[in-house]
């Protein structure tokens, strides 16, 4: 999982308060643009992987809630660790 500083909302170009339908529409738009089968750019595969990871997190209500908690904790400068999935946000103190 990416750290909250690698903002999934920015990756999908949506607002953090976006409805699930908006997130899905953004994912489809970006997938058409960056899918390696249609985009010959050397970084298309990496970009598509980041888009997929962002969508996987934000389209799942439980994962999105956890991600949002970590994002808020990072903004507040506190450490958050989730050993269950191995993700850690650094303590900004």
* Residues belonging to the chain: 93
* pLDDT of amino acid 90: 44
Q: Report, as an integer, the average pLDDT of 78-85.
A: 53
Mean pLDDT across the chain: 85
Distance in angstroms between the alpha carbons of the first and the last residue of the chain:
23
* pLDDT of amino acid 70: 94
Residue 14's nearest CA partner among 46, 45, 57 is 57
Read off the tokens for 84: 């269950």
3-state secondary structure of 80: strand
* pLDDT of amino acid 1: 47
87, with CB counted inside 10 A (0-12, 13-18, 19+), is middle
Name which residue leads in pLDDT, 87 or 41. 41
Read off the tokens for 47: 């970009």
Q: Report, as an integer, the average pLDDT of 20-42.
A: 96
């Amino acid at each position: 999982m990416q750290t909250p500083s690698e903002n999934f909302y920015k990756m999908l170009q949506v607002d953090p308060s976006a409805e699930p339908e908006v997130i899905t529409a953004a994912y489809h738009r970006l997938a058409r643009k960056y899918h390696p089968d249609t985009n010959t750019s050397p970084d298309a595969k990496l970009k598509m992987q980041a888009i997929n990871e962002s969508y996987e997190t934000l389209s799942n209500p439980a994962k999105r809630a956890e991600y949002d908690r970590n994002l808020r904790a990072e903004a507040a400068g506190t450490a958050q660790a989730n050993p269950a999935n191995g993700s850690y946000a650094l303590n900004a103190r």
